[in-house]
Structure 1
Amino acid sequence: MKRILITGAASGIGMATARHFHRQGWQLGLLDINEVALAKLADELGNSWHRRLDVTDADACRQACEAFAGDQGLDVLFNCAGILSMGHFEDISPARHKQIIDINVTGLINMSLAALPALKNSDAPAVINMSSASALSGVPHLASYSASKFAVRGLTEALHIEWKRLGIRVVDLMPPFVKTPMVDAADFRAPVVDRMGVNLTAEDIAAEAWKAANEKVPVHNPVGFTFKMMKLLDKLLPSASTRLIMTFLSRE
């Protein structure tokens, strides 16, 4: 039985992915800082292995990976934990900016390092990183989040090459806005969200995670027709064109 470890599993994309892989008969390792919601999901999915985890704690990440992998190993790590804040850059506190970077970037680094020993013992290991369309161009009103996803994109590209020597595939998923509690609960609604629309569900991304876990997909995997077209235009036109499009979509 194949085994996947999912961070941010208690809601949104992480939860949808857990349910999707469970239906396909995979053994789940569920990690999230929300212990109550995590336990509820684990119970729903047949008392799946789960543990409360703050991904910014490197030691806790190592202990969680060791506990789940045990003697059975680990086939896929899905780095899904992440947060965002929408708003004018100066209206978001320094502490919140730091938290976004700490969870979205440092957390991914911590988990990738922690899972590496177990992944190396798998027959076809993979790391799937939750990136975003915001990694293509800096997004106004989502500056720190966008910066964090640029970092995820760079880390994915580097490890995609570097970990080939270990037989580990490293890829990312790059959707635009997804209908999740994280987006729905935002106090400030960035203009680009309404102009691009929230047309993807968490289940759509879970299906892409399944594909990435089981097929040889490219290093970057744009999700959704709108973003696929934007990414194509970014290749065909000067990068200034992408910035002009983003300026237009983000106007207040």
Structure 2
Amino acid sequence: MEFDGLTALVTGAASGIGLRVATLLEESGATVIGLDRAPAPGTRDDLVLADITDGPALEAALHGRFADERLDILVNCAGIGATGTIADNDDAEWARVLDINVTGTARVTRSVLPNLLRSDCAAIVNISSIAAWAGLPQRALYSASKGAVQALTLATAADFAGRIRVNCVCPGTVDTPWVGRLLDASDDAQEERRRLEARQPMGRLATADEVAAAVLWLASPAASFVTATALGVDGGMAGLRLPSSTR
């Protein structure tokens, strides 16, 4: 997959999946602009700093960077997690998570839509989750937000069919800093990791590179006839029901 001459914007580029997507795009020849609300250790040193929940600040930051330039690829990686049943998160937490994961994705996309429409090979890739498909325990709010991202992906693909390809990637559990923090907060990090690994039919967590590779394919001209697709990178989690003895 070659991206020579193409420009990409990646949100959530300071760490995790977003950082790997930005890095691999750049290594493949793209000019990459990373966006995040704050830098992180080991992050890129050329981030556009903006909070995707602050509409005016986001508009100003992106307009200042792109103005009337062409944008070929948008990857919406910015997002946060949430744990608990439907009884465990209050209205404020629902508003916060949906504002970042769903409305934030819409804000960024809306802000750079004119730039994408200037491209002859425009592509948007959103990050949804296997939680949008599979009923996972203790993930009510997170699942709702990622289901909304998937629905938003399909609706946007319909609105801009023939002008912008719009797809999403639905990862299983990925070995990222967010999952690391989740493990650290558990009573037994080693046992919690074992449980998460056992939940994946392939018996391990995904890597950020594996998810990023799927994102790059959907964003690339090689996928020029692919739109309105939700691509699972989940080790078979959505479709397989294996006996426990095989894991």
The reply to whether residue 110 of structure 1 matches residue 107 of structure 2 is yes
Amino acid across the alignment from 1:2: L
Deviation track 1:140-182 (CA, whole Å, cap 9, x = no partner) reads 20110000011011111111111115x0011000111111011
Unpaired runs of 5+ in structure 2? 187-191
Matches within 5 A, 1:45-194: 48=46, 50-164=47-161, 167-186=163-182, 187-188=185-186, 193-194=196-197
Deviation track 1:101-124 (CA, whole Å, cap 9, x = no partner) reads 110001011111111010010111
Please name the residue that 1:240 is paired with. none
Amino acid across the alignment from 1:172: C
The reply to whether residue 220 of structure 1 matches residue 226 of structure 2 is no
Please name the residue that 1:5 is paired with. 9
How far is 1:56 from its partner? Answer: 1.1
Q: Secondary structure at the match of 1:227?
A: coil
Please name the residue that 1:37 is paired with. 40
Out of 13, 17, 20, the residue aligned to residue 16 of structure 1 is 20
Moved more, 180-189 or 86-95: 86-95
1:89 and 1:228 mapped to 2: Cα distance? 22
2:151 and 2:124 mapped to 1: Cα distance? 14
Contact 1:176 1:227 in 2 (8 A): yes
TM-score (norm 1): 0.81
Which structure shows the bigger proportion of residues in helix conformation? 1
How far is 1:194 from its partner? Answer: 4.3
Runs of 4+ deviating beyond 4 Å: 188-192
Q: CA RMSD in A?
A: 2.4
Q: Secondary structure at the match of 2:160?
A: helix
Contact 2:199 2:237 in 1 (8 A): no
Amino acid across the alignment from 2:164: I
1:112 and 1:80 mapped to 2: Cα distance? 12
Contact 2:172 2:235 in 1 (8 A): no
Instruction: Calculate percent identity across the aligned residue pairs.
Output: 34
Please name the residue that 2:189 is paired with. none
How far is 1:96 from its partner? Answer: 2.5
Contact 1:138 1:147 in 2 (8 A): no
Please name the residue that 1:242 is paired with. none
Amino acid across the alignment from 2:12: G
Contact 1:175 1:224 in 2 (8 A): yes
Amino acid across the alignment from 2:178: M
Amino acid across the alignment from 1:203: D
Q: Secondary structure at the match of 1:164?
A: coil
2:195 and 2:121 mapped to 1: Cα distance? 39
Unpaired runs of 5+ in structure 1? 234-244
1:104 and 1:182 mapped to 2: Cα distance? 14
Contact 1:175 1:227 in 2 (8 A): no
How far is 1:199 from its partner? Answer: 2.1
How far is 1:100 from its partner? Answer: 1.1
Q: How many residues align?
A: 225
Amino acid across the alignment from 2:237: F
Amino acid across the alignment from 1:184: G
Q: Secondary structure at the match of 1:229?
A: coil
Contact 1:135 1:149 in 2 (8 A): yes
